[in-house]
Amino acid sequence: MIIEPRTRGFICLTSHPDGAAAHVKKQIDYVKSKGEIKDGPSKALIIGASTGFGLSSRITAAFGSGASTIGVFFEKPAKANRPASAGWYNSAAFEKAAAAEGLYAKSINGDAFSDEIKQETIELIKKDLGEIDLVVYSLASPRRKHPKTGEVHSSVLKPIGQSFENKTVDFHTGEVSNIKIDPVEKQEDIDNTVAVMGGEDWKFWIEELKKAGVLAEGVKTVAYSYIGPELTFPIYRNGTIGKAKDNLEGTVSELNDLLSEENGKAYVSVNKALVTQSSSAIPVVPLYISLLYKVMKEKGIHEGTIEQMQRLFAERLYAGEGVTLDEQGRIRVDDWEMRDDVQVEVQKLWNRANSDNLEEISDIKGYRKEFFQLFGFDFDEVDYDKDTNELIDIPSISS
């Protein structure tokens, strides 16, 4: 079929398999260009492996240090005349590229919050790898069915205490407008957001993996967090999602206790703001990202998810001489985003930004391009007028 992008707000309803393959290839080429990550992971489990930071973590582990990888994700396969979700095509392309280089790669598609998927993953590890030495936890989801209570928790993206008013952008049209977001009304909404995006499920995974005896001596586990600038604090770090991130970060010490027998270590890495399916859903953030991209590109320090993950692995997690942490015990790869010179520039542009000058003073074009590329569109090397086969299998899932 001929596949074109069909968007609804910050969601793209279609995705392109050839573009997804081009996206994955670009990331692989980047990791290879940076050379081998010495003493990197050799058997990695990536939870949330199909898009964004998780996909880039998987690519870095596999092509940066030759790791066997198991990826867990929740994606939709294609039906005739209905393309699969982008993460499905990404994972199909990843597995094929890994196989072409003799790298083990298998995937599990299902709800990572559930006990069943955890057990299925453990069985696969036991059968094929025996044990794993890296667990990346990179889930981003709007809801979670709790495996013990059966309750479905839905997250909300709201400020706490008082309403928040600021600029936002419709990145499709470039229209800048004011948005007022009312504060969360019930403690329950905060608790639900923490239940979805906090650290409990990460802990459940590590507990189950440990119980099953599949964690190698010296195992590492890492999950991802965000801080960002003061201007997004009310909606992000001091908002409901920020409470979830506090909870995630707080889980590290529990996991370190849990992993002491294995001499394992748990980390949270604070990453840079980037265009992903999740971040485009947060009000105000896309405008901030489009200004941030402009400033960081001009300074020659822009990074995408793959550059971030390659740096995380090569210069932090596996740098050899002990992992450098901030005062709160977190890894920081948002260091370039948070540089004073970057933030001062972004704030100046933020004050000026309006619908008339946005194309000129921001990188909204780059934002849009990256958004469409998440779904496999807007790659020069792909002929989008050509018929393509939408019915692509993920080798380890179809066989």
- Smallest separation, CB 49 to ligand NAI (Å): 6
| 74 lies in the site for ligand NAI, by CB under 6 A | yes
Report the residue number, 67 or 139, with the smaller CB distance to ligand NAI: 139
Lookup: tokens for 320: 């050899």
> Nearest Cα to 24, choosing from 54, 66, 67?
54
The catalytically annotated residue of 137, 224, 226, 236 is: 236
Report the residue number, 216 or 251, with the smaller CB distance to ligand NAI: 251
| 367 lies in the site for ligand NAI, by CB under 6 A | no
- Answer for the pair 79, 115: CB distance below 8 angstroms, yes or no: no
Distance CA 140, CA 44 (A): 19
Place of tokens 């909606």: 235
Pattern of binders to ligand NAI over 184-223, x per CB under 6 A?
----------------------------------------
Report the residue number, 216 or 283, with the smaller CB distance to ligand NAI: 283
| 371 lies in the site for ligand NAI, by CB under 6 A | no
| 73 lies in the site for ligand NAI, by CB under 6 A | yes
Please select the residue that binds ligand NAI; options are 134, 139, 342, 392, rule is CB under 6 A: 139
257-286: which residues touch ligand NAI (CB under 6 A)? 271, 273-274, 276-279
> Which DSSP symbol is given to 382?
S
217-236: which residues touch ligand NAI (CB under 6 A)? 224-226
Helix (H) or strand (E) run with residue 176 in it: strand 175-181
Lookup: tokens for 1: 């079929």
Lookup: tokens for 2: 């001929």
Please select the residue that binds ligand NAI; options are 69, 138, 193, 232, rule is CB under 6 A: 138
Distance CA 338, CA 153 (A): 32
- Smallest separation, CB 48 to ligand NAI (Å): 3
Strands 152-154 and 105-109: unpaired
Lookup: tokens for 380: 């020069």
- Smallest separation, CB 380 to ligand NAI (Å): 23
- Answer for the pair 90, 20: CB distance below 8 angstroms, yes or no: yes
Read off φ and ψ for residue 240, nearest 5 degrees.
-60, -40
| Residue 236 annotated to the active site | yes
Distance CA 346, CA 4 (A): 34
Q: Could you tell me which residues come within 8 angstroms of residue 315 by beta carbon, excluding any fewer than 6 positions away?
A: none
- Smallest separation, CB 385 to ligand NAI (Å): 28
Give the interface segment with ligand NAI, choosing from 2-10, 111-119, 166-174, 377-385 (CB under 6 A): 111-119
- Answer for the pair 306, 312: CB distance below 8 angstroms, yes or no: no
Q: Name the closest residue to ligand NAI (Cβ).
A: 52
- Smallest separation, CB 40 to ligand NAI (Å): 20
Helix (H) or strand (E) run with residue 75 in it: none
> Nearest Cα to 62, choosing from 259, 306, 300?
306
| 113 lies in the site for ligand NAI, by CB under 6 A | yes
Size of the site for ligand NAI (CB under 6 A): 29
- Smallest separation, CB 335 to ligand NAI (Å): 13
| 87 lies in the site for ligand NAI, by CB under 6 A | yes
| 53 lies in the site for ligand NAI, by CB under 6 A | yes
| 52 lies in the site for ligand NAI, by CB under 6 A | yes
- Smallest separation, CB 132 to ligand NAI (Å): 17
- E strand segments, 308-392: 331-332
Give per-residue burial for 284-303: e unless 16+ CB within 10 Å, then b. bbbbbbbbbbbbbeeeebbb
| Binding-site ranges for ligand NAI (CB under 6 A) | 48-54, 72-75, 87, 111-113, 138-141, 224-226, 271, 273-274, 276-279
Residues annotated as catalytic are 236
